[in-house]
Amino acid sequence: MTRPQSSAARELGLKRGEFDLAVRLGRIRTVAVPGGGRRRVPREEIERIQEAEGFPDTLREQVRVVGTAEGAELMDIPATRFTRLARAGMLTPAKFYVNRYRAVVWLYLAQELREFAAAEVNVPLLTGRTPDKLRARLQAGGDLRPKNWRARHSGYLLGQAVGPWERAAALATLLDPTQLAELLESPYERAHLHRLRPEEFWYGAPESPSAAVVRDIMTADDPDEISWLRGSLLLNLAQARRSCPAPRLAADAVPVAVTPVAAPQAVTSEHVRLPPRARPRSLWDRLVGRGA
- Radius of gyration from C-alpha coordinates of the chain: 20
> Would you place residue 202 in the very low, low, confident or very high pLDDT band (cuts 50, 70, 90)?
low
Q: Does the predicted model carry a pTM greater than 0.95?
A: no
Between CA 291 and CA 288 the distance in angstroms is 8
Helix (H, G, I), strand (E, B) or coil at 96: strand
Angle between helices 79-87 and 68-75 (to 10 degrees): 100
* Burial environment of residue 109 by CB neighbours within 10 A (0 to 12, 13 to 18, 19 or more): buried
pLDDT attached to residue 258: 41
Q: Which amino acid makes up residue 131?
A: P
Structure confidence by residue, pLDDT tens digits, 82-102:
999 999 999 999 999 999 888
pLDDT attached to residue 266: 46
Residue 257: pLDDT over 60: no
